[in-house]
Amino acid sequence: MKIFLFVELSKDISKIDLIGIIFGHIIFAVALTQLLDWSWLKNLMNEEDKEKMLKGYNWKDLLVDVSIISVVLGILFLIISAFI
């Protein structure tokens, strides 16, 4: 029954509305990033720990990071395709 709600919702929202919603979220994310103070991030680790972490970072860690990003993007595109 819930699937029919998505179908009805996708009929009500046009592609222009969807593009506007996506760009609105992107603009909001950029604005929020600029407004918030992110200076506390550099104090999370000292220099020795940063160097140790970067030296221990290898291609397997990069592969895991890329796969996580791919899954998140895939889910995002799946949600978007439900409305198109």
The domain locations on the chain are 2-83
Specify the range with the lowest mean pLDDT, choosing from 2-16, 22-36, 61-75.
2-16
Neighbours of 31 (CB within 10 A): 10
pLDDT tens digit sequence for 55-84: 888 888 889 889 999 999 988 888 888 776
Q: Please report, as a single letter, which amino acid is at residue 38.
A: W
pTM of the predicted protein model? 0.41
Cα separations in angstroms, 37 against 11, 29, 44, 64:
41, 14, 14, 29
Q: For residue range 31-49, what is the model confidence (pLDDT) as tens digits?
A: 888 888 777 777 788 888 8
Mean pLDDT of 6-20: 70
Q: pLDDT at residue 6 above 70?
A: no
What's the mean pLDDT in 21-39?
84
Distance CA 25, CA 22 (A): 5
